[in-house]
Amino acid sequence: MDFIAIGDEGEEYYQAAYTVVDADGATLRRELAPLLSIKDHNPKYLLTMDNTPLTSHNGIKQINVLNWLLK
């Protein structure tokens, strides 16, 4: 995991990658692994430069990092 944010709502976990799009899905699996290993129920996010709509991977939200920064 790349970083943890702690705020009024509690902890949020973040993993960042330039892209997770590849032919066999190995990059996506590698980037999700640290977040999937966390056993609590706090929000988990995968930030990428990929232009995909908001996607959920077993509860981990994949968000475009530029949209996240501008939020």
pLDDT at 41: 93
pLDDT value, residue 71: 86
d(CA 15, CA 31): 7
Confidence class of residue 1 from pLDDT cuts 50, 70 and 90? confident
pLDDT score at 10: 94
Rounded (5°) CA angle 45-15-31: 105
For residue 50, give the nearest of 68, 38, 63 by alpha carbon.
Answer: 63
- Interval 6-57: pLDDT, tens: 999 899 999 999 999 999 999 999 999 999 999 999 999 999 999 999 899 9
Question: What residue spans of the chain are helical by DSSP H?
Answer: 26-36, 65-70
